[in-house]
Amino acid sequence: MTGAHSSGTIVEAAEMHPAPNGVVYQYGTAGFRTKADILDSVMTRCALIAALRSRKVGGQWIGMMITASHNPPEDNGVKLVEAMGNMLTEKWEALATEMANKPTPEAVLEYYEEIAFKNNIDLKSPARVVLARDTRASGARLQACVIDGLKAAGAEIRDFGYLTTPQLHYMVRCLNTNGAYGTPTEQGYYEKFGGAFKRALRGKKPTGTLTVDCANGVGGPKLAELIKYLPPKSEGLEIIIVNDNVVKPEALNVECGADFVKTNQRAPPSSGAGPNDRCCSLDGDADRVVYYFKDGNSMFHLLDGDRIATLVATFLGDLVRTSGLADQIKLGVVQTAYANGAATHFVKDNLKLKVECTPTGVKYLHHEAEGMDIGVYFEANGHGTVVFSPDTLKTIAAYEPRSPGQKESLDTLKACIDLINSAVGDALSDALLVEVILAHKNWGAEEWLGTYNDLPNRLLKVIVKDRNMFKTADAERQLVKPEGVQKLIDAEVQKVRQGRSFARASGTEDAVRVYAEGATRAEADDLARKVAEIVKAAGAA
């Protein structure tokens, strides 16, 4: 299905899927995402952008994932994936947004040709696009809209059907590295991560079982398949899968999944796990994971992205040191302002590692992590991974251990590198990495929780008339507009022991999110309430 586009077919494809009146689309942190019934035109136009992007990067494969992740079942979306399996560049996000909002099929063609002209893209050169979707009921219809656009643009199509979002990222990276990253098939994915898990365990057995809530999404069947490639449960890890009903798409993310657990601070009603049983929840497209357990008194404890980041940074830091590489490789952690203050102090004071703070959004954290030798990043919501610089990978590959102890640490480190999906946060590989670390430390969830005590915190949402009034600086930790508001917030923070608070405009709705921490639950709640009142007054002015 290769060959140059013809202007007629692009106009025809756009005519088949006309844009609804009065809808303004925005390529957000995770692509276009909204109600599925108003996305047909976006899908076709996004396909044109994907074809152009592929031509711009010399005919490499570009990915398109049809998903709305943790959103309700009636939503859907699409995101584009760069040639190395990472997020679309910001410049092309803007092009995609403008293309999605063109009023007529003729305007779509005109803009398509304008992008090609301004970016020196030869429209006769090959374009290649990889396609996959999650289990939403609207997925098949929206996929057909994508294919109409890709055919109109003369792109070659590889359609993988149902995949998790990280599996699609993996396929793109494999295809563009000629298999150096792995084999670009589902089986190749399972073999790579299953094999790495086995090597990283080094004969150690995780304690207890792991109950995995799959949000009734695509992660359920994919995890069931991955288990076949793991060591038998007698030698390795016993995984109990719950919430894997993909036959009923309307059950997706309902009363389950990572977002439900993080937002409600409780286990899914369907979990069924006993006291101190380790549990984790994926989101609808399996790119996020959070851990949790109930203690002997039925108290719920969340082990979120901050906890995963500190666990991973501790373990990898130890491996770098015990393999004799501490002089050559430096580890760093990337967080957002939402990271718990106790986690930040633990990394700085206990682990003695560098911490960088970026604005909210995985693309910012990933970019910052790419500047480190080893960059560990996880948003509190459970979306994250570890990035290894090309120089670091060469250093590790070339290093000759000087003792059996160093060799053992080096082998474990190499296995962990293979176990981590560095292209993007991957709930399945992240969970396997956590299990490897807990097995090496001979820890259950309680010991993991005991590494530090989270500061009590509260997140509030304040509805405002115009969120654009609120402008931030310093990685969203300081309000610069409206003027004078930050001073009022600072005055309230000063009154609270271990107080910290910030306010930032939501990326998706006319609201401002207020985060506050304090030494006690009462102080954190009180500070959040007072800052919310300040924001409310400023928003009404």
Question: Could you give the residue numbers annotated as active site?
Answer: 69
Is 379 assigned a ligand-binding role in the annotation? yes
Tokens at 185, concatenated? 């098939």
Task: Report the candidate in 324, 343, 325 with the shortest Cα–Cα distance to residue 384.
Answer: 343
Is 508 assigned a ligand-binding role in the annotation? yes
Is 505 assigned a ligand-binding role in the annotation? yes
Is 6 assigned a ligand-binding role in the annotation? no
Is 89 assigned a ligand-binding role in the annotation? no
Residue that the structure tokens 């909210």 belong to: 360
Is 389 assigned a ligand-binding role in the annotation? no
Q: Assign residue 209 a region: left if phi > 0, alpha if psi is -120 to 50, beta otherwise?
A: beta
Is 134 assigned a ligand-binding role in the annotation? no
Contact 442, 451 (CB under 8 A): no
Q: How many residues does the chain have?
A: 541
Pairwise CA distance, residues 82 & 97, whole Å: 17
Query: Is cis: bond before 482, omega within 30 of 0?
Result: yes
- DSSP line for 104-131: SHHHHHHHHHHHHHHTT--TTS--EEEE
Contact 171, 132 (CB under 8 A): yes
Is 213 assigned a ligand-binding role in the annotation? no
Tokens at 405, concatenated? 């102890």
Tokens at 86, concatenated? 């990472």
Is 507 assigned a ligand-binding role in the annotation? yes
Contact 437, 445 (CB under 8 A): no
Which residues are registered as beta bridge partners of 500? 517
Is 381 assigned a ligand-binding role in the annotation? yes
Q: Kindly report the number of other CB atoms within 10 A of residue 438's CB atom.
A: 24
Pairwise CA distance, residues 290 & 381, whole Å: 7
Is 9 assigned a ligand-binding role in the annotation? no
Tokens at 62, concatenated? 């570009």
Q: Which residues are annotated as a binding site?
A: 69, 283, 285, 287, 379-381, 504-508, 513
Q: Which residues are annotated as a binding site for substrate?
A: 379-381, 504-508, 513
Q: Which residues are annotated as a binding site for Mg(2+)?
A: 69, 283, 285, 287
